[in-house]
Structure 1
C-alpha cells in the first residue's frame, strides 16, 4: 500500500462505502420526532463529513387510502412537525434497511398496510428495524417471533401483554441479523454509530458522533432508564433491592415478609426505611408502582379493566378501580 493511500481517511478509502446505501423510514402518525431525528441525522452527517453520498435516505407513509391519519404525502410527528413522504414501498428497489418509527399510544398502531409493507420488505431480504414504538408494529407483523428485541421502556408492559411469548429485553438497541430494534430517544445515535462503524470504520463513526456532541457512546445492552437510585432518589441498598423487586413483581406482589427477607432486614426495619427515606409506607409505595403500571396499560393496551387489574396484582376490577380513583383522582374508565 502506498503512503498516500495509507493516509486516506476511512470515508475516502475504496470499498463498501463507494455505493450509496439506501435507508428507508416508515413513519406512523404521531411518531416520536426526537427518536426519528436521532436515527436519520447521523447518516446525513456521514454524507457531509465524507463529502459524498454514503447513505441515501427515503421517507415513507401510508397513502390516503391506506390508513387513518394519512395526509396525502405528509406524516405528522408527535410535535406536529410534518415530514413529506412517498407511498409505502412495494418493491425492494435499492433499499438496504427500512425502519418503522412510531410514538404515542399502541392503541393507534393497528396499521395493516404498514404491517404488510414490513412483511413484504422482509421477504425481499431488506433488513427491517423499528425505533421507539416501531418494534411493536414489527411484532404485530410477525417479524419478531423467537427474536430478541427491544423498544422504548414505556411500551414494555403493553408489548408483553399483547405478545406474551415476546423475547423482550431492556437494552438500548438489539441487532439480530436482519432485524434491528431500538428503544428510541437518543439511543438511535448509538445504534447509528454501530451501523456506520460496521461499514466505514470506528474512526469515521466517531467523527459522526462528535458532530452531535455525543461523546459517550452507549453499548447495545446498556439500560434504557436511570437506575432505581436515581429514579427514586434513594441510595440505601436494602431499599433499592426492594424497589427493584416491586417493579418486577407487579402481577404477583410479594408480601412484606418476603421482601424483608430479600433485603436481609427485619419487617419493622423495612417499614422504618420506607417512612424515613421515601416518606411513604411500604404498602403505599408498592401500590403506587402497581397502579403506575396499570395506568400505562390503560393508555396503551386494549385489555379490559379486569384484565389490567389482574396484570397489576389486584384481586378484582372493583378493587383496582377503587385504588386507582383514590391514587389518581379519576376512574380507570375515564383514564382510558
Structure 2
C-alpha cells in the first residue's frame, strides 16, 4: 500500500477523531534521521515493524535516510548507516517519519520543507517522532493538526506553535499526519497500525514478543502518575500538585490552591511539610524552575520568553533563582549545551 487512497483521505478530512483506518502507517515507510536522534524512538518503531512481518500476510517495508546521505550519529554517538539522502527520494513513500534529537530545528531549510510539502501533496503520511515535530511545526506542516511531542519539549512547543493542538498523549493520528512522543510509545503506535490493517490477534502476538504487557491507547499519558512520581497517596495533596503542574505560567497562590482542594492554607502547608518536606511555595518554585530548565535546553525561545512562560514576572528574578538552583545562569546553561553539540556555533539568547 503506497499512500492513502482518495476514499481514505476524504474520510480523514471529515472525521473528528481517528478510527481504525486513521491508525494506518502506509508502507513503504521512509525514516529521516536527524543528527543526534534518539535511538529508542527509532528502534521502537523499526523493531515492531520487523516482528510484525513474521505474522502479517503483507510485509511492512522501510528504509533509512539522512539529510546528506551519510551515516548519522545518534545521541549516544553511535553511527547508523542509511540508504540514501532524503532529498534524493524519487517516488513518494507511503509514510515519512522524521526522528528528532536535542535540536531538531537546526536542520530546517527551505529545500527540506519544499520536499515535505510535495510529498504530502502526493498522499504521503508525514510524521514526527520524539522531538521532530518541532521541525515540522517550524515549516507550518502541523498547523491545524492535533499533535503530541515528548513531554520535555511540550511547554516550549505549546508556547511557540499555537496553530497546533498539542496533547501529551503517546501518539496522535490526525488525517495525513502522525506524531509520536518517542521512547517506547513507538511500539504502541505500530501495534495500533498492525491492528488496523491486520487485526488484533496479530497485534497481540507482536506485543507479547516484546513482553509488552498490554497495548496502550494513544490517549494515555506519557509520564508516571503523580502518585508514583512523588510516592504520595493523599488525594488532596495529589490534586494540589496536579493543579500546580497545570498552572505554571500563571502560578496560583497557596490560598487559591488550598481553596481549590477544600483545605485551609495552614492545612495545605502542613500536608506538604509532612509528605514532601517543603512548603507549597517551595515545591511550586521547583516545578517552575525544572520546566524552565527543560525549555532552556530543548528550545530556542529567548530567556525572557521562558521566564514569563514559567510564571516569573521579570527576567532578573528568574535568572537569580535559576542560578541558585542550577549553579549557572540560563544563558550559561544554553551556551554549554550548544557548545557540547556544536562547538563552532553561537547559542541564541
Q: Same fold (TM over 0.5)?
A: yes
Distance 1:332 1:160 in 2: 20
Distance 2:105 2:319 in 1: 21
1:79 aligns with 2:85: no
Task: Return 5+ residue gaps in structure 2 as ranges.
Answer: 1-25, 335-349
Higher gyration radius (CA): 1
| Alignment equivalent of 1:326, drawn from 290, 313, 324 | 324
Q: Quick one: structure 1 residues 105 and 236, their matched pair in 2 at CA, closer, same or farther if it must change by over 3 Å?
A: farther
1:274 aligns with 2:272: yes
Distance 1:132 1:291 in 2: 23
Shift in Å, 1:289: 0.6
Distance 1:145 1:165 in 2: 5
Q: Quick one: structure 1 residues 121 and 30, their matched pair in 2 at CA, closer, same or farther if it must change by over 3 Å?
A: same
Distance 2:238 2:112 in 1: 42
SS in 1 for 2:62: strand
Shift in Å, 1:75: 1.0
Residue correspondence of structure 1 range 54-203 to structure 2 within 5 A: 54-63=59-68, 72-85=69-82, 86-89=84-87, 91=89, 93=91, 95-106=93-104, 108-203=106-201
SS in 2 for 1:55: coil
Q: Which residue of 1 aligns with 2:38?
A: 32
| TM-score under structure 2 length normalisation | 0.84
Distance 2:75 2:89 in 1: 29
**Is the contact between residue 193 and residue 209 of structure 1 (CA under 8 Å) also seen in structure 2?**
yes
Q: Which residue of 1 aligns with 2:346?
A: none
**Is the contact between residue 61 and residue 88 of structure 1 (CA under 8 Å) also seen in structure 2?**
yes
**Is the contact between residue 115 and residue 137 of structure 1 (CA under 8 Å) also seen in structure 2?**
no
SS in 2 for 1:60: strand
Distance 2:316 2:165 in 1: 32
Shift in Å, 1:109: 4.7
Cα RMSD after superposing both structures: 1.8
Distance 1:114 1:132 in 2: 19
Q: Quick one: structure 1 residues 108 and 232, their matched pair in 2 at CA, closer, same or farther if it must change by over 3 Å?
A: farther
Q: Which residue of 1 aligns with 2:246?
A: 248
Q: Which residue of 2 aligns with 1:237?
A: 235
Task: Return 5+ residue gaps in structure 1 as ranges.
Answer: 1-19, 64-71
SS in 2 for 1:21: coil
